[in-house]
């Protein structure tokens, strides 16, 4: 933990405007800082005081000399102490918001910079939680963070998930595992009337994607009494919500057998196992085959992984989103609905929408755009960080 009087000091370069940081910008890049030998020698995750070129304080930051994001703003109070009480205060504020939003303790508890804990993601599953410490400072203080989480939220089991691109960019390892308490197996998660099975230890990311909750609900309403196709389904996010709302049937396609098994178990737990089918397949292959067979559904959902995780991957990613739309559009029955999703922060809403519309047109269909959806309110956006608003979901009604 930091003791403010003894903190090292890092400074902005002389020509770097400090006003964005004073107004709320959360990151400082390496090329914006004076990176002398002393600064480069700081251990990843060190806490330091940030000053502008005129030695005026800007706040307390976490430093990682091996990352392009060399400093992350922790507190704009230059006298703040990053200690156990500071962690508890941030967690209490995050918990208060979620308890206002949701009746049951199943939600994203901490959404990184937007909740004042940069690089930290925490998803809550009742009495259990999964922490993703995606910044070096959080990795360094994982024991203190775990203790604060236990005290504030009252969880009894905590999993550390160390997978993902963000940690590699911070120079961190991928050592995941249970760091507090015990888990008997997948956790049942009630959401939108459905029951999901979340594998907190072996599942993808934290085991479940809470961000799509409001979009699941909207698509489920459209699926009532109809046939639903959920492609890139993971543990059945859209499919199980559709069944809970009264869909006649739901077919899930994913490349992971374990994820589909959890989806089946969720459907059975809901008493909907007879209306749910699952298929392990490459999504593009499955979409192509279904099109060749002339299959049609009342609601088709495609929720792929991030095709454009970086600016360098943007053009290829947009082509992939267009291809998804082109293959999915013919599968929608006349007057039915097509839901297309992107979690690529590098592909902004306008670019993703354009790629989707091009694909629908190339698929021989015309459409109305009914709704543009984003992540739920347990995934608040940081006003100065476009990356925190990564999720886009477009719902189209395809003309007969």
Beta strands in the chain (DSSP E): 9-11, 27-29, 46-51, 57-63, 69-75, 106-111, 120-125, 128-133, 157-160, 177-180, 187-191, 194-198, 227-231, 249-254, 276-280, 297-302, 332-342, 367-373, 392-398
User: Tokens representing 133?
Assistant: 């410490």
3-state secondary structure of 253: strand
Active-site hit among 145, 343, 357, 391: 343
The distance of Cα 218 from the centroid of its chain, to the nearest Å, equals 19
The closest of 154, 292, 299 to 230, measured between CA atoms, is: 299
Q: Cα(140)–Cα(19) distance, rounded to whole angstroms? A: 29
Name the nearest CA neighbour of 66 among 43, 48, 50, 47.
Answer: 43
| Helix/strand/coil for 157 | strand
Q: How many helices (H) does the chain have, and how many strands (E)?
A: 12, 19
Does the annotation mark 343 as catalytic? yes
* Active site members: 343
């Amino acid at each position: 933990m930091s003791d403010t009087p003894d903190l090292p000091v890092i400074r902005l370069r002389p020509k770097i405007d400090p006003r964005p940081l004073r107004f709320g910008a959360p990151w400082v890049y390496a090329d914006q800082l004076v990176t002398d030998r002393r600064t480069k020698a700081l251990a990843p995750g060190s806490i330091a005081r940030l000053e502008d070129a005129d030695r005026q304080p800007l706040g307390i930051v976490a430093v990682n000399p091996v990352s392009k994001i060399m400093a992350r703003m922790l507190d704009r109070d230059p006298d703040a102490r990053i200690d156990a009480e500071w962690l508890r205060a941030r967690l209490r504020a995050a918990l208060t918001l979620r308890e206002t939003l949701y009746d049951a303790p199943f939600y994203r508890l901490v959404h990184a910079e937007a909740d004042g804990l940069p690089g930290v993601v925490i998803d809550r599953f009742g009495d259990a939680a999964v922490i993703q410490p995606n910044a070096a400072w959080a990795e360094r203080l994982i024991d203190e963070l775990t203790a604060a989480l236990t005290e504030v939220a009252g969880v009894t089991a905590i999993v550390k998930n160390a997978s993902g691109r963000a940690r590699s960019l911070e120079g961190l390892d991928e050592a995941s595992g249970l760091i507090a308490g015990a888990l008997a197996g997948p956790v049942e998660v009630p959401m939108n009337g459905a029951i999901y099975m979340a594998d907190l230890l072996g599942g993808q990311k934290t085991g479940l994607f809470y961000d799509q909750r409001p979009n699941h609900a909207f698509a489920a309403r459209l699926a009532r009494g109809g046939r639903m196709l959920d492609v890139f389904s993971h543990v059945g996010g859209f499919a199980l919500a559709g069944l809970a709302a009264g869909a006649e049937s739901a077919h899930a396609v994913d490349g992971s057998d374990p994820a589909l098994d959890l989806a089946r178990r969720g459907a059975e737990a809901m008493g909907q196992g007879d209306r749910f089918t699952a298929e392990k397949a490459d999504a593009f292959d499955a979409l192509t085959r279904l099109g060749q067979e002339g299959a049609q559904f009342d609601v088709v959902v495609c929720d792929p992984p991030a095709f454009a995780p970086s600016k360098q991957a943007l053009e290829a990613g947009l082509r992939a989103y267009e291809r998804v739309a082109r293959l999915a559009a013919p599968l929608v029955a006349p007057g039915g609905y097509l839901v297309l999703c992107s979690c690529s922060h590098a592909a902004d809403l306008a670019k993703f929408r354009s790629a989707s519309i091009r694909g629908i047109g190339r698929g021989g269909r015309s459409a109305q755009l009914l709704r543009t959806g984003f992540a739920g309110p347990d995934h608040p956006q940081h006003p100065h960080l476009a990356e925190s608003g990564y999720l886009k979901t477009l719902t189209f009604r395809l003309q007969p």
